[in-house]
Amino acid sequence: MYNSITFNSKNLLTEFGVYISGQGTFGAPDREYTYYDVPARDGSVLGIGSKLNNIQVSYKAGIVSNFSANMQALRSFLLSTIGYARLTDTYHTGEYRMALYENSFSPSVISTNNAGEFTLTFNCMPQRFLTSGESVQSYTASGTLSNPTHFDAKPLIHVYGYGNFTISATGYGGVQVEIANPSVTDFYIDCETMNIYSGSTNLASYVAFKKSGTSQYGVDAPVLRPGSNSITKSSSSITKLEITPRWWEV
């Protein structure tokens, strides 16, 4: 049985006859640090704000039937897909990457031009998103949500109602979300992009983020820390929270 890729909703095996090897897909991204040298001090001072870089994920691939037509269709599909799209393969079930295809490739043609081998390389965001993180968790009262990974997750929160709620974790503190306008009762908070919206309407001016237990406003949207997170719904006028956690590993 051939292994396969699905990219931007198309299975490359069924659509273009592309089978793959997954040997180049087990790497991890590198972390970017900033270092500062201090005169007369040994070593370097580590800067704040390190990030994970994109990773190149390569598949050894081949087409063994209807090569010319399939290769032309494959090239057209890959290079007409602009920006990041969802990438999965049959070697890593239960996860996906956000990837873009930006390279040309030249196949090594064999068997009197009826088959060929080549490498497909995708420029991927560093996260391996878990499909389990796409399951919506619903809260009509306060509760907890456990992050099974090693990394902070930036959820999508669907809010029904208005008022205050807090997401916090032991040892990290928390973020209180305040919805001041009672006419805003069904909207989304995207903690990754910091967008607050209902349909195409931007509702950022109606929502504030405050460091829990302080008067400090203007902090980032809440995240789900590794381990247990408390979801505290302090206003009865918020009837329900639906949280898509977006778990990820590297």
What are the boundaries of each domain within the chain?
A: 5-126, 132-249
Q: pTM of whole model > 0.75?
A: yes
Tens-level pLDDT at each residue, the chain (250 residues): 789 999 999 999 999 999 999 888 888 899 888 888 888 888 888 877 778 999 999 999 999 999 999 999 999 999 999 999 999 999 999 999 999 999 888 899 986 778 999 999 999 999 999 999 999 999 999 999 999 999 999 999 999 999 999 999 999 999 999 998 888 889 999 999 999 999 999 999 999 999 999 999 999 999 999 999 999 999 999 999 999 999 999 9
- Nearest 5°: phi and psi at 34? -110, 130
CATH architecture label of 5-126: Beta Barrel (2.40)
In whole angstroms, how large is the CA radius of gyration of the chain? 23
5-126 and 132-249 share one CATH topology? Answer: no
**Contact status, residue 126 vs residue 138, Cβ threshold 8 Å:** no
Q: Are 244 and 133 in contact (CB under 8 A)?
A: yes
In CATH terms, the fold of domain 132-249 is Jelly Rolls (2.60.120)
Distance CA 137, CA 42 (A): 49
